Amino acid sequence: MTQNEIIKTVLDIAHGNMRYADPFDRINLEKGAKLGVRGFTTQSAEEALADLICDLQDLEHELCLNGAMEGASL
């Protein structure tokens, strides 16, 4: 994975996780409208952050594994 691909992936992961804690995100606005709740969020900011950290650690491990595999094939 190139540096630009890694950066894009990190940004995508961050946006994907944090949108669940954003009351103005389309997903939460739609769910809130169905429930009749203003300011609805699927997750708290802390829950979204915990998921983000786990997903970034998974990406880090994937990059380390891929780097090790590339080094082993030399």
Residue 16 to residue 20: CA distance in whole angstroms? 8
Residue 20 to residue 68: CA distance in whole angstroms? 34
User: Which residues in the chain show pLDDT less than 50?
Assistant: none
- What range does the domain containing 30 cover? 3-72
pLDDT at 73: 59
Query: pTM for this structure?
Result: 0.82
Q: Report the number of distinct structural domains present in the chain.
A: 1
